[in-house]
Structures are given as structure tokens and as C-alpha cells.
Chains A and B, each alone.
Chain A
Amino acid sequence: MLSELKELWKFRELLFTMVQRELKIRYKNSALGFLWSMLNPLITVMVMSFMFENFLHRGAGVPSATAYILAAYLPFTFFQLCLLDSSQSILSAMPLIKKIYFPREILPLASVLSNFIHLVMALGMFFVYLLVVYLRSIIGHGGFANAESPFRLTAIYLPILLVINLVLSTGLSLFISAMNTFYEDVKYIVSVVTYLMFFMCPILYFEESVANSALNLKWGGWLYKLMNLNPVFSLSSAYRKVLVAPPKITVDNGAVMVPMPLDWRYIGWAGLISVVILIGGYATFNKLKWRFVERP
């Protein structure tokens, strides 16, 4: 694996160029260009939060349901797009692979990195959104006294979460891109699994709701622990906790749930499993990469 990494380092310029190329191609022929990266999730989430505020969690409150959903939804779409894009990355570059040598892992890596750049830019827009909501609430309620600051100090933990997320997505992407080259079912499996994953992660609901659910209490808290084994679950709730103020969630009987603090043990677990997935994914990729061109 070490020699492969050395080879990859030698071709780093190609990786940068490939990322640049993907970024250029994606919005090449569209009028709004990069704006789609933010517009798309924003519109989706506004529809979601309309449902959320009116039918699901009445009074989720500060600062708005949209902020809560966006904080978890943006990283989730990154994860999802990484897996979907990279599953096709080898096959769509087949004409090139058949003609010339370069480290094959550059193809899925370029998909992951270009999506990551989109995530970082979208998170930048997210902060702008928070600021807008804040300013609106100042104007609406007259004065700074009632409005909470939109930026939280815990946002300094964001890079840690982003790195874990990147490691996890890279590992899975390497694995998926290699497998999809031989079995094209893989991409359909990936799209179903990530779709289901969306509901299994605290994006449309809060992890407090899981922890306080009747089912979880009946199981003695094991359901919550089990769901936290999924690194995407713990990451989703962690993004929310570091970026947005704790929610005030009312349950059916009118009681308010106690917001849970960020549990670093689960983040540690997510980091560990992500590294294992990255090593495993890269090893699988390296084992299969010479057979890509000669797939039967």
C-alpha cells in the first residue's frame, strides 16, 4: 500500500487537474452555475422544513427548523453524492483507462474531492443563511436582546467532523467504484441504501427523539446505541450540535426534551470505523484495479 501511495503522490498534479475538471464540467452549460450547489439543497430543505414545522415537530424553534435540517442534510448529500458519483467514475473513464496508465484511484478520489469542495462552499452559504435569519429576527423582535448569536463557538470542531466524513466517504467510494466496475448492480444497491440511510439518520428528526422514544426505552437504550454504530448517524447529529443552538423539542404530552450534549465517544467510534473502511476500501481497490481494463 505504501508504494501505491507514493505513486499517487507522484501523480498529485493529475488529481488536482481532474478535480478542477470535474468542477468545471458539472455546471459548464448551466446559467446559474455553482449556485445550484446551494440552491438545490436550500429549496429541498425549505419544503422539508415546511412539513417539519407544521406537521411533525411543532415548536422546534430556535433558530428555525431549516437550519437544523440543513446542518445535517448538507453533509449527508455530500456522502450520498460521493458514493453515487464514484460508482460510475471508473466506467465512465473507460476509454481513457484503456489507453494510458495513471493511478486508477485518482478517478474516485477526484469525484470525492470535487464533492467535498462543494460541501465546503455550501457550508459557507449555510453560515450566510444563519446570519440572514439572525438579522431578520433582530428586525422582527426589535433589538439584540432576544436574538441568539447565529454562530456558535463549537463550530471549531467542524473540521474534525469534516475530516472523518471525508475519510469515510473516500473509503466507501474506493470500494464501491471498484466493485461497480465488475457488477453494475452495485450502483443501484448504493442508491437504495443511501436513500434508506437518509431516514435512518437524524436529519428529519432529532437524535433526542430516538433516545426518548418508547421503543428505545423499552429496549433499555440499546436502540439508540445501535443506531449510533452507524457513523453517518453520529456525524449527522454532531454537525447539528456544533453548528446550531440546542433545539427545544416538545413531546406529545407537552414536556420539553433535554438536549443531549455531543457524545465524543460516538465520534471516536465513527473516526475509527472510517479509517478501517478507508484502509479496507483502498486495499480492495488496489487488488482489483489492474483488472478494470480486462473485465470479462
Chain B
Amino acid sequence: MEGPAIVVSDVKKEFLLNNSGANSIKTALLWWKRRKLRHLQVLKGISFDVKQGECVAVVGRNGAGKSTLLALMARVYKPTSGSISMNGRVAPLLELGAGFHPDLTGLENVYFNAIILGLTRKEVRERIDKIIAFSELGDHVNSPTRTFSSGMLARLGFSIAVHVDAEILLVDEVLSVGDFEFEKKCYAKIDEFRAGGGTILFVSHNTHAVRRIADRCVWLHKGYVQKIGSPDEVIPLYESTPMDTDTLA
């Protein structure tokens, strides 16, 4: 494939916040004049590219807009203005177990999640053994996921995401779940994914992880890109910036 894997050009994202919280026709009819809608600008014009096969980390304080950026890439939101183009199949690593139904078995949930990530049933059948083997769940996959521990959910979720053969992996702070052994396995899998030419964009507060796997670092600050560069260049600056007291609520 030609060209960059991800192009983010001048993306802005604004949310409407309703102070009252109540959401009914009555409130809409009675209070439509007094309704207070706050506009919250989360991203205020962001541009950067991610090359094929690159691993880019997004860092920034809480409320800087990292997760919103990732959600925009996963097409959960539409940008208010600007555009994002993703070149290749995208697999967002879901918040672990987000798509799992508690009453269905692990196996049934694997099918459902993998299909949501864009596989066909046939393709899932072909790699189901690999997914189960990687998750180390064994016979447990046949019991309902409500009986799973959070570590088991995490393992299964990660295992599905890395086996859908995506070209771009979006990871939002999920690698920290699971025990040390499994974390090592995840990193090994990520290295393997990158060796195969895959692109990764991930959000993390863990600066060790960022230094370990990222080629480049995008530092978001209050909705703007503060700095882009190698982790060794950006992270010391990011860590030495004092915490702001007027963070977004």
C-alpha cells in the first residue's frame, strides 16, 4: 500500500454538554429556552500523519483529548470539522470485554466480537483455535463470560483483536491488565505485528511502555498538538511540565 497509514488533518471535535442531565420530552418542551447547552471543545485543530508500519504513542494529561482522538479514528464519532483517513483495516482494541455479553459463552462472544471487527464467520472459524490458544483460557471458553475474571476477559479481548489481521491497531490503555506473564506475551505479539508491517497507534500514561515500543510520540495538550517527536525527545518535556490546575471537568 502506498502513502501514510493514518492522515489526520485539522481535526476539530466539539461536544454538547447538557447541564440538567434529564432527557425527556417534557424538559425539552418546557425548558427549551432555558436549556443550557455547553459547548466543549475537545480537539481544537489537530494534524499529523502516521506512516505505514510505524508505532505512534499519544501522550497527554487527563482531558487532553487522547481518547476522543482514538474514538474518532475508530469512527465512533464524526469530526466536527477536518478529516481523518485510515488506510487499511482498523482494529480498535476495545475496552476489555466491552462487546461481551455476560450470558453467552466465551466462544460465542469470540465469534461476535471478531465479526464486529470485520471478519466473516468463515474467517473466525479458521482462526478460532489460535485465538483460544493465545488467550490461555482452555476449557473455560465454554462457560458464560459472566463467570470470567477481569484478567480472563482481558486476555480473550486482546487475543481477538490481534488475530483479526488488521493493518492498523488502535490501543487505548488496555495493556496494563493481565498478569506480568501475559503482558510480556502481549508485547511479543505487538512486536510480531509490527514486524509484519502493521501500524499501531496507542494511548498510554505508562511512559516506560511508550519508550519501549513507540517510534514517535504525539503530545496532546488541551486539545492541541504540543509536540511531535521521538519518545526520548518528547517524554522528558512532557514529564517536566507542571500539572495544570484548571483542567477540564
A contact set with B: CB distance below 8 Å: 13-14, 16-18, 21, 24-25, 28-29, 95-102, 182-186, 290, 293-296
Q: Which residues of the other chain, A, contact B120 by a CB distance below 8 angstroms?
A: 13
- Chain B residues touching A, range: 20 to 34
How far does the Cβ of B160 sit from chain A's closest Cβ, in whole Å?
Answer: 12
A96 vs B24: C-alpha distance when bound (angstroms): 23
A179 to chain B: closest residue by CB: B25
Q: Does B133 contact A (CB under 8 A)?
A: no
Interface contacts beyond A28-B103, A95-B95, A184-B23: sample of 15 additional A-B pairs, CB < 8 Å, sorted by A: A16-B121, A17-B112, A18-B112, A25-B103, A99-B74, A99-B95, A100-B94, A183-B23, A185-B24, A185-B25, A186-B25, A293-B77, A294-B77, A296-B18, A296-B37
Q: Does B189 contact A (CB under 8 A)?
A: no
Q: Which residues of the other chain, A, contact B195 by a CB distance below 8 angstroms?
A: none
Q: Does B28 contact A (CB under 8 A)?
A: yes
Q: Which of B15, B94, B116 has the most CB of A within 10 A?
A: B116
**B77 pairs with A182, CB closer than 8 A:** no
List CB contacts (< 8 Å) of B183-221 with chain A.
Answer: none
How far does the Cβ of A37 sit from chain B's closest Cβ, in whole Å?
Answer: 18
Q: Does B158 contact A (CB under 8 A)?
A: no
**A296 pairs with B76, CB closer than 8 A:** no
**A294 pairs with B15, CB closer than 8 A:** yes
How far does the Cβ of B244 sit from chain A's closest Cβ, in whole Å?
Answer: 25
A32 vs B115: C-alpha distance when bound (angstroms): 30
Q: Which of A17, A25, A100, A184 has the most CB of B within 10 A?
A: A100
CB within 8 Å for A97 and B101 given contacts A184-B24, A185-B24: no
B91 to chain A: closest residue by CB: A100
Q: Does B104 contact A (CB under 8 A)?
A: yes
A23 vs B24: C-alpha distance when bound (angstroms): 31
**B121 pairs with A17, CB closer than 8 A:** yes
A295 vs B24: C-alpha distance when bound (angstroms): 12
How far does the Cβ of A113 sit from chain B's closest Cβ, in whole Å?
Answer: 16
Q: Which residues of the other chain, A, contact B115 by a CB distance below 8 angstroms?
A: 13-14, 17
Q: Does B17 contact A (CB under 8 A)?
A: yes
How far does the Cβ of A146 sit from chain B's closest Cβ, in whole Å?
Answer: 50
Q: Which residues of the other chain, A, contact B28 by a CB distance below 8 angstroms?
A: 183
B21 to chain A: closest residue by CB: A296
**B98 pairs with A21, CB closer than 8 A:** no
Q: Which residues of the other chain, B, contact A96 by a CB distance below 8 angstroms?
A: 98-99, 116
B contact set with A: CB distance below 8 Å: 15-18, 23-26, 28, 37, 71, 74-78, 92, 94-95, 98-99, 101, 103-104, 108, 111-112, 115-117, 120-121
A184 vs B25: C-alpha distance when bound (angstroms): 8
**B23 pairs with A21, CB closer than 8 A:** no
Q: Which of A16, A97, A101, A290 has the most CB of B within 10 A?
A: A101
Q: 10 tightest CB-CB pairs across the interface, nearest first?
A: A101-B75, A296-B18, A99-B98, A296-B16, A185-B25, A99-B94, A183-B25, A28-B103, A17-B115, A290-B78
A18 vs B104: C-alpha distance when bound (angstroms): 12
A-B contact pairs, 19 of them (CB 8 A): A13-B120, A16-B121, A17-B121, A24-B108, A96-B99, A99-B71, A99-B99, A100-B92, A100-B98, A182-B23, A183-B23, A183-B24, A184-B23, A185-B24, A185-B25, A290-B77, A293-B76, A296-B18, A296-B37
Q: Which residues of the other chain, A, contact B26 by a CB distance below 8 angstroms?
A: 185
CB within 8 Å for A13 and B121 given contacts A101-B74, A183-B25, A290-B78: yes
**A29 pairs with B103, CB closer than 8 A:** yes
How far does the Cβ of A264 sit from chain B's closest Cβ, in whole Å?
Answer: 38
Q: Which residues of the other chain, A, contact B112 by a CB distance below 8 angstroms?
A: 17-18, 21
Q: Which residues of the other chain, B, contact A98 by a CB distance below 8 angstroms?
A: 71, 76, 98
Q: Which residues of the other chain, A, contact B108 by a CB distance below 8 angstroms?
A: 21, 24
A290 vs B72: C-alpha distance when bound (angstroms): 12
Q: Which residues of the other chain, B, contact A101 by a CB distance below 8 angstroms?
A: 74-76
CB within 8 Å for A99 and B76 given contacts A14-B115, A25-B101: yes
How far does the Cβ of B108 sit from chain A's closest Cβ, in whole Å?
Answer: 7
How far does the Cβ of A227 sit from chain B's closest Cβ, in whole Å?
Answer: 28
How far does the Cβ of B150 sit from chain A's closest Cβ, in whole Å?
Answer: 15
Q: Which residues of the other chain, A, contact B95 by a CB distance below 8 angstroms?
A: 95, 99
Q: Which residues of the other chain, B, contact A183 by a CB distance below 8 angstroms?
A: 23-25, 28
A49 vs B121: C-alpha distance when bound (angstroms): 46
